[in-house]
Amino acid sequence: MREDCPRCGNPVDDGAEWCPSCHAYLWDDDEPGERELVAPAAPPRAEGAEAEPTPTEPDPAPATLELPEARACPRCDTENPLERHFCRHCGLEFDPPRVSVPQAEVTPRASWWRRLLGLHRSPTERAALRTYRRSLPLRYRLIRTGGILALVALLVVGFLLLRSDPVTWASDRWYDLRDTLEPVRATAELDPPGPERPQFGPGLALDGAPGTAWGTSWIEASGAGDCGTQRTSAGLLLTFPDGPADLRRVRVLGGLPAEDDDRLLQWRPRVLELRFSDGTCQRVTLEDLGAPQDVDLEAPVSTTSLRVDVAEVFPRHAGENDVVAISELVPLARPAD
């Protein structure tokens, strides 16, 4: 059986101890895994023959650095020869020269009011902006103008609120939203002053007791007449000692209460004339209920007094009683700050 030389790899006859090619000594044990190479001994030679030179192993080749023959483009991944400066597919320059770019000068930032008014722009920029605005459709220009006018109106309203009293304005709007009213403290007297009718004094209209009433004599008059025309012997004058009140409403119980048997025997107020300290006059109309009813004024009034006159009445059913009475009269105003 022929085997190979472990040094040179040439075939060797079975049982040979020397390689005929490289003269290497082979092995003398039976375990192939433990065979040890030994230095070859010089083979016997015939007498007179020249000695053969001992073979030596060739020097290993020096290690060489393998250089790539091409490089891939970092943008499109196309292979390019090393001598190319631009990619043959996308034209990317592989090693562009580095040019130093001078840093631009930093322009100081304009103040906020100059930016708001547009004063930081150059004349060229302002001209370009005017040209752009003129090129906009009419609809956009109208929207822009309307927005500016709305902003100006908002600023004017805010300025007026700040000049008056924003806290008072806000509280008044809150009261308007909730329709908050409270009774006004008042004192009552006859106007013009004169003798009081028995059991019908002016203070009885403010005592909170429906069973008592202020009353005066009704004088029949033809026609409606102007506000302030005298139709009773006296009017009821209320004075507000705590200062001006922002009147919005009056609560009135006209005539005696419904359960009083004498109610229908008297005149009962149908229209009241309310005159205020500023000289204005308003009329309010009542229903013949025999119970308290709230009547709104035509417009709010700030006043320090309130004069009440009966302008029209519901007719009495029988008898000759000339009394027209008001059992309860409560002026209602916005809460005082």
**Structural domain that includes position 22:** 1-40
d(CA 215, CA 203): 11
pTM of the model: 0.52
The answer to whether residue 252 sits within a structural domain is yes
Decide if 259 is inside a domain.
yes
- Angle between helix 166-178 and helix 138-164 axes, rounded to 10 deg: 100
- Domain assignment present for residue 229? The answer is yes
- Please report the sign of the dihedral spanned by the C-alpha atoms of residue 148, residue 152, residue 153, residue 158: positive
- Residue by residue, pLDDT tens for the chain (337 residues) are 567 887 787 887 777 777 777 766 675 444 444 444 444 555 555 555 555 555 555 555 555 555 567 888 888 888 888 888 888 778 788 887 666 555 555 567 777 777 777 777 888 888 888 888 788 888 888 898 899 999 999 888 877 766 666 677 777 778 888 889 999 999 999 998 888 888 899 999 999 998 899 999 998 765 556 787 788 889 999 999 999 999 999 999 999 999 998 899 999 999 999 999 999 999 999 999 999 999 999 999 999 999 999 999 999 988 788 899 999 999 999 998 6
Q: What is the dihedral sign for C-alpha 111, 115, 119, 120?
A: positive
- Nearest alpha-carbon partner for 325 in 335, 316, 317: 316
Q: Running DSSP on this structure, what letter comes out for residue 132?
A: H
Residue closest to 266 by CA, chosen among 207, 329, 326, 188: 326
**For position 221, what pLDDT does the model report?**
63
Cβ(320)–Cβ(267) below 8 Å:
no
CA distance 300 to 272: 16
Quickly list DSSP for 70-102: EEE-TTT--EEETT-SB-TTT--BSSPPP-PPP
Question: Considering the domain boundaries, does residue 55 fall inside one?
Answer: no
What amino acid occupies position 172?
D
Domain count for the chain, please give it.
Answer: 2
- CATH number of the domain residue 191 falls in: 2.60.120.260
Q: What is the pLDDT of residue 64?
A: 52
- The H or E element spanning position 324 is strand 323-333
In angstroms, the CA 295 to CA 293 distance is: 6
Sign of torsion, CA 239 243 244 245?
negative
With CA atoms as reference, report the closest residue to 270 among 315, 203, 213. Answer: 315
Residue 168 lies in a domain: no
DSSP letter string over 175-198?
HHHHT--EEPP-EEEEES--PPPT
| CA distances from residue 39 to 19, 56, 256 in whole angstroms, order as listed | 12, 12, 150
What are the Cα distances from residue 29, in Å, to 1, 14, 42, 99, 165?
Answer: 17, 14, 21, 75, 120
- 188 falls within a domain: yes
Q: Which of 295, 232, 286, 222 is nearest to 255 (CA)?
A: 286
Q: Report d(CA 234, CA 42) in Å as an integer.
A: 165
- Residue 123: count other Cβ atoms within 10 Å of its Cβ: 7
Q: Residue 281: what pLDDT?
A: 94
